[in-house]
Chain A
């Protein structure tokens, strides 16, 4: 019995180890293809950091594998993810093939991976500043918008009077896309930064308001009844009963607000502000430097995805008492 189990574990282990080899194979394919196949005619032969980049990726991977053999938990994680890592090299290889090697799609719109990589190496200073400006704008706008949304939502959900006067306002203003306010914002606010903060905040404000007001309004009355027989005053009912009970919906609003604020941020920067990742995209486009556009798209993807991850991590911490929540 235990022998069979041992054999099964051994076999599973072997299978896992085979999986671990996959990324190395696809790495070799990507590298050999890049080095051996001739470039398409229209590309200037120039030294590229792409092979070095591939090498760094695989070395990092191998380092992880080496460490993982000492940590069994990490090993199972790695072998589970190995096919995805392998696919990354494969995607890079296909991209390289379709652009640099075969030129199936035209320049300058579709640069090869080496060119996009070169943008990071040559233009990292401007990229870094742009990222800093975008993040500063994003955080300022997001926190202001979320704060206003929470106050408005809780007020509307809690008080009939506040709800009476402010619900129509939310219904009228909310559906207007924040970006439609760009012309107005740029004239009303003294600086383009404050105008953009307003736009980002506006984009966050609406979903946070809607979700927190419906969260508060949907708190079962029995919670309030019980709390009142336990000696709770109004303040306690709002802060210790209504808000905690509404948190699951409030977090959904915060998540929706985060995604809409990304949109507002990038569009505001493309149209009005002279800094940030959005500005960098439109500036690069005006010079037909599409390699830079892709470089920024990749940054945006990484940064925004991680911001969402952070929000969900906070949510999971705060809502530990809930089961069966949305996974990210």
Chain B
């Protein structure tokens, strides 16, 4: 049911990555291939996770889709238009909430309206505050918020523009395990309500399996896509379901993290 809702609601938010690579110059004058040419399509309203070890280029790819960094080769498109530079249609969230500490929660969420010189939208800001459950904290400053609350505020700030794509770079990585699971459900709820395309970078395989439609498994040196795994489970997903374990095992295998169990135990 959720699936059909997604496909009906989303017309925007198709990402196309065409042979995109990124090469950095290192300090000794050599070059580092952070990302070998990759090609990837993300459908409108799809939830796609990027997992892989450090240095696999997942954050690099995300930054290029955000437009903050330019690719060394290849092209990136959003809904058929080439991505050149950052735009509020592609929202971004980091592990650190990076709320502006000098602004209240409300003004942080409204900051992009100000940046875009829109003189209305306070209604929208209130709606966002409600969406992420921060009513009553409108006038709080970031230093007064817990990690989870700060991340909710950051999410509201990114969503206030109704972006076609939300790019999330380990947004839940700094939260404790319980807040994290709670925020995963929040994220899914918001995604289902807004049907924004989600591109989600994470280290946590369980998180990727719990959230995503597809999981892009990446490898390092050079950064590249190793395999793309579809998650055929409906939602909400049971974290203890045999299919959940099977997928988790499969991804660990792809990442070469699974050793032979001396007991010979099989899931």
Contact = CB atoms under 8 A, between A and B. Distances in A.
Interface of A: 220, 222-223, 225-233, 236, 240-241, 244-245, 247, 319-323
Given A223-B100, A321-B101, 5 more contacts: A222-B98, A225-B86, A229-B92, A230-B157, A244-B103
A241 B100 contact: yes
Given A225-B92, A231-B161, A247 B102 contact: yes
Nearest to A241: B100
B95 to A, nearest CB: 10
18 contacts: A223-B100, A225-B66, A225-B92, A228-B67, A228-B85, A230-B91, A230-B116, A230-B157, A231-B161, A232-B115, A233-B115, A240-B111, A244-B102, A244-B103, A245-B102, A247-B102, A319-B102, A321-B102
Nearest to B69: A225
B115 A227 contact: yes
The 8 closest A-B pairs by CB, nearest first: A230-B112, A231-B88, A232-B115, A228-B86, A229-B92, A231-B116, A244-B102, A321-B141
Contacts of A245: 100-102
B114 interface: yes
Contacts of A236: 114-115
Chain B interface category by residue count: 20 to 34
Q: Which secondary structure characterizes the binding site on chain B?
A: loop
Given A222-B96, A236-B115, A321-B142, A231 B87 contact: yes
Q: Which secondary structure characterizes the binding site on chain A?
A: helix
Contacts of A240: 111, 114-115
A54 to B, nearest CB: 48
A220 B100 CA distance: 11
A230 B161 contact: yes
A306 B116 CA distance: 42
Given A244-B100, A323-B143, A226 B94 contact: yes
Given A228-B68, A229-B66, A230-B111, A322 B96 contact: no
Nearest to B99: A226
Nearest to B116: A231
B90 to A, nearest CB: 6
B87 A226 contact: no
Contacts of A321: 101-103, 141-143
A32 to B, nearest CB: 55
Interface string B151-190: 0000001100100000100000000000000000000000
Contacts of B141: 320-321
A265 to B, nearest CB: 32
Interface in B96-150: 96, 98, 100-103, 111-112, 114-116, 141-143
